[in-house]
Amino acid sequence: MPERLKDARGLAALFEEIIVLLELKVVGQPQWHVFPEPGGVTGLTLLAESHLTIHTFPEHGFAALNVYCCRPRLCPDFEDLVVRHLGAVSCRVRELRRRVET
């Protein structure tokens, strides 16, 4: 798993699958920053709906994925996604619903 957390191409494939599954609209080019060893990768894709980000910490075997979307969507199987793309052995998904007062 730690090697996958350093692989910007592999992380981009995870983003692509999320974008397709949730029918998101990408604005501009995704941005990736690969940190020097032993660091990981930070990725950002700006969306018409908001943003998609990931921060990886291979030295700790940890990744934080944020899918922020202003439109309701069905929640994909994030556990399956991170197991397949990152080789995760555990995954915690937290869904925070936006509440807009009118």
- pLDDT tens-digit readout, 38-88: 899 999 999 998 999 999 999 999 999 999 988 777 888 999 999 999 999
Q: Examine residue 36 and state whether it is found in any structural domain, yes or no.
A: yes
Identify the domain containing residue 58 by its residue range. Answer: 2-86
In the chain, the number of structural domains is 1
Calpha distance 93→102 (Å, rounded): 29
Indicate whether 24 pLDDT > 60.
yes
State both tokens at 37. 């060893």
Catalytic residue positions, numbered: 50, 55, 70
Alpha carbon distance 33, 46 (integer Å): 15
What is the rounded average pLDDT for all residues in the chain?
91
Structural domain includes residue 101: no
For residue 3, is pLDDT > 70? Answer: yes
Q: Is 33 among the domain residues?
A: yes
Nearest to 1 by CA among 69, 66, 48, 57: 57
Judge whether 75 lies within some domain: yes
Structural domain contains residue 91 = no
Domain containing 62 — which CATH number?
Answer: 3.60.90.10
Peptide bond into 38 cis (omega under 30): yes
Output the six-digit token pair for 43.
């990725």
